[in-house]
Amino acid sequence: MIPVDVHSPASSPTVVHVPLGERAYDILIGRGALAASTERIAALGARSAMIVSDGHVLPRHGEALEAVLAQAGLRVATITVPPGEGSKNYAELERVSNALLDAKIERRDLVVALGGGVVGDLAGFAAAILRRGVRFVQVPTSLLAQVDSSVGGKTGINAPAGKNLIGAFHQPALVVADTALLDTLPERELRAGYAEIVKYGLIDDRAFFEWCEANAARVFAGGPERDHAVAVSCRAKAAVVVEDEREEGRRQLLNLGHTFAHALERIVAYDGARLVHGEAVAIGLVLAYRFSAQLGLCPGQDAERVRRHVAGLGLPSSLAEVPGGFGSPEAILDAMAQDKKVKAGRLTFILARGIGESFVQDDVAADDVLAFLRQAAAEAVPA
Ligand SMILES: NC(=O)c1ccc[n+]([C@@H]2O[C@H](COP(=O)([O-])OP(=O)(O)OC[C@H]3O[C@@H](n4cnc5c(N)ncnc54)[C@H](O)[C@@H]3O)[C@@H](O)[C@H]2O)c1
Ligand SMILES: O=C(O)C(=O)C[C@@H](O)[C@H](O)[C@H](O)COP(=O)(O)O
Ligand SMILES: [Zn+2]
């Protein structure tokens, strides 16, 4: 089964349906999607909702969401967490869970995540474990969250040992990706989110990568290209999730670049002032292609083309660009041992035979990884 676009009259949101049986849901995409979602939310039949947001997003978009929820007939409570990756931890999970219990949120009520991927992952995980599973709605407000984290049901928090190591699969009941909410997103976060867009081209859609090369500036500027990129990304992600919801096979492709990225995020101790997730992914995508080229799997020109595109947009593309340093090749390899794709102690990487031709490679030799990391570490920042 593949996700289905439901055609609607002009100016209505684009609807991508995610056909996951009893866990099926819709993604509403476009400017004004939030205001247009009242009936959909009312149809979920909840009595109460608790908005989980952060201190940057709530003051900008909280009122609009509260109005929609109230119009849908829901009683509304709110909790905020500090902005940034540091909130994906046990302490915030406990605080959010207790707030949900204090508000007497029941299984059929709604946890509504209003924010970027941090809020979505944290609130989604709280919903997954509260009363052994409460419904939740994603209202993603960062580009990254609209194109990736709000779809697919991966929820969780970080552990000192590694990224997203404590979590659960818990699908949302609805995703409302109102692209107008991105108008307040800082430029750095917009760029970081773009890394997860171009990832879909690199995974299996060369034509979309070429579209990205031609249109990245317009995606940053807003307008129809941005909405198009969000819709293409959601469709691409939904197609993979529908095929392999719990990441036993093909879904691992969505992890392209992430074995490197998550290791770097642990090394910077989830300090977004140094590196945010999308920036780590940008470096990881370039390294995954360069590693593939070093192993003789991928033409060097393709790896260079990926690097040029990423670097040309002002995203970091090398280890040397990790602010404050990346530790050492050995530290990166050590962090990779906690990757969730590890099987029987052996590393799995997403590698590529070319642009749009990625594949899952189990049993990658640690010596090959270390040799590559040593070479990548020795290089200066590329021109
Ligand atoms: N579950 C998944 O499938 C999945 C996929 C990709 C990434 N992730 C996770 O997502 C997280 C990264 O998400 P992110 O990049 O959205 O980070 P984020 O949630 O920290 O948001 C980035 C920053 O932008 C601010 N912000 C968000 N929306 C805004 C808006 N409209 N206006 C003004 N400020 C706004 C936030 O307050 C924050 O400071 C990471 O933890 C990553 O692991 C999860
Ligand atoms: O949805 C997925 O599957 C992904 O891998 C998407 C990634 O962009 C995302 O960063 C995800 O959270 C990584 O998952 P993890 O299982 O490697 O923690
Ligand atoms: Zn990611």
Other CB atoms within a 10 A radius of the CB of residue 122 amount to: 27
pLDDT of residue 128: 98
pLDDT of residue 202: 98
Strands (E), 96-207: 110-115, 135-140, 154-159, 162-169, 174-177
User: For ligand 2, is residue 255 a contact (CB within 6 Å)?
Assistant: yes
Ligand 2 centroid to residue 192 C-alpha, Å? 15
Q: CA angle, corner 214, sides to 209 and 217, nearest 5? A: 110
pLDDT of residue 7: 45
Determine the Cα–Cα distance for residues 221 and 3; give it in Å rounded to an integer.
28
Domains of the chain: 4-184 (3.40.50.1970), 187-378 (1.20.1090.10)
Contact present, 355 and 207 (Cβ < 8 Å): no
User: For ligand 2, is residue 148 a contact (CB within 6 Å)?
Assistant: yes
* Residue 110 φ/ψ, nearest 5 degrees: -125, 130
* Residue 13 φ/ψ, nearest 5 degrees: -65, 150
* Best CA proximity match to 233, nearest among 265, 258, 202, 197: 197
User: For ligand 2, is residue 258 a contact (CB within 6 Å)?
Assistant: yes
Query: What pTM does this model have?
Result: 0.97
Atom of ligand 2 nearest to the CA of 196: 8
Which residues in the chain land under pLDDT 70? 1-11, 380-383
pLDDT of residue 345: 96
pLDDT in tens, 176-213: 999 999 999 999 999 999 999 999 999 999 999 999 99
Determine the Cα–Cα distance for residues 152 and 142; give it in Å rounded to an integer.
16
* ipTM of this complex prediction, to 2 decimal places: 0.99
Ligand 3 centroid to residue 70 C-alpha, Å? 33
